[in-house]
A and B are shown apart, each in its own frame.
Chain A
Amino acid sequence: MSGFFDIPSDLQNTYFGLIGLHLREALIPVLAGLLVSLPIAQLCVRFRWLYPPVLGVTTILYAIPSLAFFVVLIDYTGQTETTVMIPLAVYSLVVLVPAIVDGVRSVPAATLAAATAMGLSPVRRYFQVQLPIAVPAIIAGLRVATVSSISLVSVGMLIGNQGALGNLLNDANIYHRPELAVNSVVTTAVLAILADALLVLVRRVLTPWMPKESTR
């Protein structure tokens, strides 16, 4: 395994530089997706008829293959990181919107009534009662979105080496150094698993009232 961490100079990055780049390209979209899906989900909870069409549209967007999405966007945003991040943000909506809607809906009516009776305004009720109770469901969605986002960034390699760790795959091919491909796959998988574990930890911190044993 000599040269495992010997990154070819054409990538103009160190190993840790690639990891940082990868995380940035994977996590910003999920964060953006979360910020967009919170209001969308709230609208879907408020107006029930809105949920099926929203679900339909996000499912259709999810059906567009990432590679095609990237290439079509090149026309507008060029061969840049933005082109990789936009589709990833769109994909995260498919997972996050249903997760948040289900989470917020699972809040018992009695709890909501109690909050209203205590004089909480709808805004405060949302932030102090509904969102905290929905945290486990939201984190469950975030875990799936984050892991798949981290693994999808690699495809960005095809549009002008915008795939961070995925760029190693191309170099593995052109320099006949398979260990670079192993490095890419293993590092990406480890990043995804670490991010997943971190989110589990975040959920434990945010929901101290939940039983500890459920690791899923």
Chain B
Amino acid sequence: MNVLNFIHAFFSDSSHWHGYDGIPTRVWEHIQYSLKALAYAALIGLPIGLITGHYGRGGNTLALIATAGRALPSFGLLVLMFIWLGFGMLPVMIPLVILAVPPILVTTYEAMRSVDPSPVDAARGMGMPESRVLFQVELPVALPLILSGLRSAAIQIVSTATIAAYVSLGGLGRYIIDGLYQKNYEKVVGGATLVAAMALATLGIFWVVQRLTVSPGVRGG
């Protein structure tokens, strides 16, 4: 197996494990980019999704925004922002956030809409203010779906953050882009393996978060 040989060669080379181009540095950079982008995207998508979902208005507008966000090509946007704004973090963050907002926004909205209306009515009947209805009744029930939206956004960010390397930044994309230009496929395959492993780790983290935060009553149903 060609690919497996490449993977083995890449990871057993001790020079790949330290220095500014070492695996720990690049992984850490990649984690930083991804977390930052996910945080911004969640900051935009979650409140809007929660509120529009709670009041049940603006679903069509959200769908339009989501389609527009998906339609914008991440890679093209990256190059364009790099040309306009120059070297820096912003040209990378813009496409990643635009990539991640639609899944968060749409799933959060859908999650809030799919909450069974009878407990919500009961909570209102008991005299709960709207904010408590939102945070103590709807949010816990909608949480599994909301988390699944965040999860797919996170995975897309992790795998797309590789393009940051095209505009001279770090991250795991460095190995892929450099390897491509140096015709060093060992490096490319190594980088790709690391990104895929990170995406799997993301899946794992979200599974754990879901176990910890979703109430057993909701999980069982």
Which of B71, B75, B179 is A166 in contact with, Cβ under 8 Å? B75
Could you tell me if B159 and A155 are in contact, using CB atoms closer than 8 angstroms? no
Could you tell me if B76 and A62 are in contact, using CB atoms closer than 8 angstroms? no
Could you tell me if B71 and A192 are in contact, using CB atoms closer than 8 angstroms? yes
Report if B153 contacts A (CB, 8 A).
no
B residues less than 8 Å from A172 (CB atoms)? 79-80, 83
Give B73's nearest chain A residue, CB to CB. A151
A residues less than 8 Å from B195 (CB atoms)? 63-65, 68
Q: How far is the CA of A116 from the CA of B203 in the complex (A)?
A: 41
A residues less than 8 Å from B196 (CB atoms)? 60, 63-65, 68
Q: How far is the CA of A74 from the CA of B189 in the complex (A)?
A: 11
Report if B192 contacts A (CB, 8 A).
yes
The proximity string for B residues 66-109 relative to A, scoring 1 for CB distances below 8 Å and 0 otherwise, is 01101111111101100110000000000000000000000000
Could you tell me if A216 and B63 are in contact, using CB atoms closer than 8 angstroms? yes
Could you tell me if B200 and A63 are in contact, using CB atoms closer than 8 angstroms? yes
- Determine how close the nearest CB of chain A comes to the CB of B63; give it in whole angstroms: 4
How many of chain B's residues have a CB under 8 angstroms from any CB in A?
41
Give A144's nearest chain B residue, CB to CB. B70
Could you tell me if B75 and A169 are in contact, using CB atoms closer than 8 angstroms? yes
Interface residues of B in 53-74 (CB under 8 A from A): 59-60, 63, 67-68, 70-74
User: Contacts A65-B195, A169-B75 known; A71 to B63 CB distance under 8 Å?
Assistant: no
Give B110's nearest chain A residue, CB to CB. A216
User: Contacts A68-B195, A173-B83 known; A189 to B68 CB distance under 8 Å?
Assistant: yes
Q: How far is the CA of A185 from the CA of B185 in the complex (A)?
A: 30
A residues less than 8 Å from B192 (CB atoms)? 64-65, 68-69, 71-72
Could you tell me if A63 and B155 are in contact, using CB atoms closer than 8 angstroms? yes
B residues less than 8 Å from A80 (CB atoms)? none
B residues less than 8 Å from A165 (CB atoms)? 76
Q: How far is the CA of A17 from the CA of B189 in the complex (A)?
A: 33
Pick from A41-49, A176-184, A202-210 the stretch touching chain B. Answer: A176-184
Q: List 21 A-B contacts (CB under 8 A).
A: A63-B158, A63-B199, A65-B162, A65-B195, A65-B196, A67-B177, A72-B3, A72-B185, A148-B70, A157-B75, A158-B180, A166-B76, A172-B80, A172-B83, A181-B79, A184-B73, A188-B76, A192-B70, A192-B73, A193-B67, A216-B60
- B residues at A contact (CB < 8 Å): 2-3, 59-60, 63, 67-68, 70-77, 79-80, 83-84, 155, 158-160, 162-163, 166, 173, 176-177, 179-180, 185, 188-189, 191-192, 195-196, 199-200, 203
- A residues at B contact (CB < 8 Å): 59-60, 62-69, 71-72, 74-75, 143-144, 147-148, 150-152, 154-155, 157-159, 165-166, 169, 172-173, 178, 181-182, 184-185, 188-190, 192-193, 196, 215-216
What 18 additional pairs, Cβ within 8 angstroms, besides A59-B203, A74-B185, A147-B71? A63-B199, A65-B195, A67-B176, A68-B188, A68-B192, A144-B70, A151-B70, A151-B71, A151-B76, A155-B75, A158-B177, A158-B180, A169-B79, A173-B83, A181-B80, A184-B79, A185-B73, A188-B72
